[in-house]
Chain A
Amino acid sequence: MRICIIGCGAIGSLFGAHLGRLDNVEVWAYDPYQAHVDAINANGLRLTGKSDFVAKLNARSDAAEIPPCEFGIIAAKTLHTRSAMEATAHLFTDGAVCSVQNGVGNEEIIAEYVPRVITGTTFPAGHITAPGVCNQDTGGSTWIGPFAPKPASMDEVTRLAEACQRADLDVIALEDARGAQWTKLIFNSASNAMGALTRLPHGVACDQSGVRAVMSELAKEGVAVADALGIELDGDPDEMIDHGREVAYNHKPSMLQDVEAERPTEIDALNAGIAEIGRKVGVPCPLNEAVAGMIKGLEHSWTLES
């Protein structure tokens, strides 16, 4: 089996390194960050933290040097989904690409480029500490399933999940993975947005007067949109917010990390994504729209001369 990781940041590195330890799987990684690519090719990809090992991978910043693959696992930031697929589509003329990215809207873009698509939702988190080195911060499960308009076969989905399981990644194949996707989406829309707007870590934000209630209101809108789509959530996003406060009190959600670094955020795939789908299905999402407007405003502020 030949797999290409598309976007070898923290999540891509976690998948790539684990799969890279398998004998019967050949792992390639595409990433534009040349120093990272060079370090992986020279010394292997090292995981630290919750995992501690080095795996051999073939990394490339030029996708033309990568052979055709059976599977792609795309872990690029949602902002880069299109450019990443433009660069790598030729690897999957007869392959399936699985998104393990945040939010909604990625699969639709991927489907424009490849014949078969897999929806995925992943919970492990980490961060790159040096070129070729990724610290795994948390573990957790991943749920994958066929993406409806251009689905991979259930047989393909299962084979990918089994390969991941052999590599010690808890990946579960489902006929309908949208419940998992929307549960995490709604959780993220509350925790990421409020963390980014208050500039506070998740648990600290939860403990500010009135802020936790706003998170619940945001989540309620998302749940109403999921209901209208006929998606059965596999968990209660509101409980996840409380659980996150327990286990990751000082964790800075990725959107807060983006804001602190003045990088474009994934707002289009999160609150703006929910609000846009809400409009299409006739479910008003005033708070998600408000939050999307403010995050966009914040991004705009970095472009102004001070």
Chain B
Amino acid sequence: MQNISKVCVVGAGAIGSLFIGHLGTLVETTVLTRRETHARDLIKKGLRVSGKSQITAKIHASTDPAQLGDADLIILATKATAVAASAATLRGHFPNAKLLLVQNGLGCEETVHQHGDWPLISGVTFMSGVKHSDTHVEYELDTPTWIGPWAEHGAPFDFVKEVAALINRSGLKAEAYEDLLPHQWSKLIFNSAVNSIGAITNLPHIKSFAEQDQLSDLGHLVFAMMAEGKHIAEARGVVIAGDPWKMNVQAVSHGQSGGDEYGHVTSMLDDVRNRRPTEVDWITGSIVREAQKAGVSAPYHETLYRLVKAHETSWQREPNQ
């Protein structure tokens, strides 16, 4: 079982940092960062995890993959928008590694595959963290990460199970599935509606997303968009694992001790508020592309995809133009 003795994490945002901190206590863990200062701080101070776990892990970090040696497992944890650049950096390195992707949406596997022959593991993560600094992350939601071999060039399922076991031993949660697509699609459909509608309406994921009383209640749109997503999954031959609408209703109806209007600020809304490019191409956009492949129409996804893309343009324009 102890075949994985060296892990390299690429991208030390909140999700990446959670992996680094937890795995760093079990196996030799290295980090490939984008910024020199980030690598230097991690080497000097280690990575501290607070919240649901209390850990400080000692790690090695660099901006140059040649300085990190080989690894058994690479965890690519950048945002989807940075995957192409990260994969280009990895090209020609880590010849014996298998690579786990934990981005939102669909399509990152193809991008990575263009840069190297690493067997790939697809992942869908539900855990969340808050990055307080380059060397401190708070472990917030301790929900699991689902992983499975990529259909086209995947790591063997036995290895995937080992990865899941390692993640579980480290204090995080993981579940291995031979066929991840049904799970990927459930979350994709959920994310697509909740993220893009949130990005356009400036709303965190609050109970309005499940309200369907009045004609203009937002729940109608969320429901219709998820129904459209389910229809597209079906047309692509995927039987989804869980009902995204139930996930939506559940997500807005618990943990609201802070009042009726407490809600999670989704990553796409966070990007919009900070005027960063969003992951809409991989989330809502991927469903639009899947619908095209299946030859079915997707008016809701098409509309929301176009709206978010156009909205991104609005903050690239000069004021008063």
Q: Which residues on A are within 8 Å of B, measured CB to CB?
A: 194, 197-200, 204-205, 208-211, 213-214, 217, 250, 267, 272, 275-276, 279, 286-287, 289-290, 292-294, 296-298, 300-302, 304-305
Contacts and interface: CB of A to CB of B under 8 A. Distances in A.
Contacts of A286: 224, 299-300
Contacts of B307: 194, 197-198, 211, 214
A301 B299 CA distance: 25
Contacts of A279: 215
B310 interface: yes
Interface string B186-225: 0000000000010011111010100000011110110010
Contacts, number: 102
B310 A205 contact: yes
B222 to A, nearest CB: 9
Given A204-B317, A214-B306, A297-B208, A289 B311 contact: no
B309 interface: yes
A200 B313 contact: yes
B179 interface: no
B195 to A, nearest CB: 14
Interface residues of B, number: 30
A292 B200 CA distance: 12
Contacts of A213: 306
Interface of B: 197, 200-204, 206, 208, 215-218, 220-221, 224, 261, 299-300, 302-303, 305-307, 309-311, 313-314, 317, 321
Given A292-B215, A297-B197, A297-B203, A209 B306 contact: yes
Q: Give the interface SS of chain B, mostly helix, strand, loop or mixed.
A: helix
Nearest to A210: B306
From A294, A297, A300, name the one whose CB has the most chain B CB atoms within 10 angstroms: A297
A303 to B, nearest CB: 8
B306 A293 contact: no
In this complex, the member of B206, B306, B310, B314 whose beta carbon has the largest number of chain A beta carbons within 10 angstroms is B310
Contacts of B306: 208-211, 213-214
A250 B320 CA distance: 9
